[in-house]
Structure 1
Amino acid sequence: MDVIGRYRLQDQIGAGAFATVWRGYDDDLDVDVAVKILADNWASRADVRERFLSEARLMRKIASDRVVRVFDLGRLPDGRPYFVMDYVGGGTLGDLLRQGTLDPVDALWWGADLARAVAALHHEGVVHRDVTPANLLLRENVGIESGGGTHRIVLADLGLAKRAAEASGLTQAVGTPSYMAPEQGRGDGGFDERADIYAIGAVTYALLTGHPPYAVSSIPDVLNRDPDLLPGSLQPLLHDAVGDLDDIFARALAYNPTDRFDRAELLAERLEAEAYRLEQEAPLRAQERTSITDDEVSTTVATNPPVRRRRRRAWLWFAATLPVVFAAAGVGGWYLFGQ
Structure 2
Amino acid sequence: MDVIGRYRLRDKIGAGAFATVWRGYDDDLDVDVAVKVLADNWASRADVRERFLSEARLMRRISSDRVVRVFDLGRLPDGRPYFVMDYVGGGTLGDVLRGGTVEPVDALWWGADLARAVAALHYEGVVHRDVTPANLLLRENQGIESGGGTHRIVLADLGLAKRAAEASGLTQAVGTPAYMAPEQGRGDGGFDERADIYAIGAVTYALLTGRPPYSAGSIGDVLNRDPDQPPPSLRPLLHDAVGALDDVLARALAYNPVDRFERAELLAERLEAEAYRLEQEAPLRAQERTSITADEVSTTVATNSPVRRRRRLWLWFAVSLPLFFVAAGAGGWYLFGQ
TM-score, with structure 1 as normaliser = 0.86
Q: Aligned with 2:32: secondary structure?
A: strand
Decide whether the 8 Å contact of 2:113 with 2:146 is kept in 1: no
Q: Give the 5 Å matches for 1:302-321.
A: none
1:280 maps to 280
2:176 maps to 176
1:161 maps to 161
When residues 35 and 79 of structure 1 are mapped into structure 2, their CA distance, relative to the original with a 3 A threshold, is: same
Q: Distance in 1 between matches of 2:3 and 2:198?
A: 41
Q: Distance in 2 between matches of 1:153 and 1:266?
A: 17
2:257 maps to 257
1:293 maps to 296
Q: Which is higher, the Rg of structure 1 or of structure 2?
A: 2
Q: Aligned with 2:56: secondary structure?
A: helix
Q: Percent identity?
A: 89
Structure 1: which amino acid aligns with 2:88? V
Structure 2: which amino acid aligns with 1:20? T
Q: Distance in 2 between matches of 1:148 and 1:11?
A: 31
2:219 maps to 219
Q: Give the 5 Å matches for 1:21-32.
A: 21-32=21-32
Q: Aligned with 1:25: secondary structure?
A: strand
Q: Give the 5 Å matches for 1:1-339.
A: 1-144=1-144, 147=147, 149-290=149-290, 291=293, 292-296=295-299
Q: Distance in 1 between matches of 2:80 and 2:146?
A: 43
Deviation sequence 1:82-130 (CA, Å, 0-9, x none): 0000101111111111111010011000000000000000000000000
Q: Number of paired residues? A: 298
Q: Aligned with 1:20: secondary structure?
A: strand
Decide whether the 8 Å contact of 2:68 with 2:155 is kept in 1: yes
Decide whether the 8 Å contact of 2:37 with 2:82 is kept in 1: yes
Q: Distance in 1 between matches of 2:183 and 2:141?
A: 37
Aligned-pair distance for 1:152? Answer: 1.1
Compute the RMSD of aligned alpha carbons: 1.5
Q: Aligned with 1:225: secondary structure?
A: coil
Q: Aligned with 1:295: secondary structure?
A: helix
Q: Aligned with 1:85: secondary structure?
A: strand
Structure 1: which amino acid aligns with 2:27? D
Deviation sequence 1:32-64 (CA, Å, 0-9, x none): 100000000000100000000000000000000
Q: Distance in 2 between matches of 1:252 and 1:98?
A: 24
Unaligned runs of 5+ in 1: 299-339
Q: Distance in 2 between matches of 1:70 and 1:27?
A: 17
TM-score, with structure 2 as normaliser = 0.86
Decide whether the 8 Å contact of 1:115 with 1:268 is kept in 2: yes
Deviation sequence 1:277-308 (CA, Å, 0-9, x none): 0110111112222312343599xxxxxxxxxx
Q: Aligned with 2:100: secondary structure?
A: coil
Decide whether the 8 Å contact of 1:144 with 1:150 is kept in 2: no
Q: Aligned with 1:233: secondary structure?
A: coil
Q: Counting helix residues as a fraction of each chain, which structure ranks higher?
A: 2
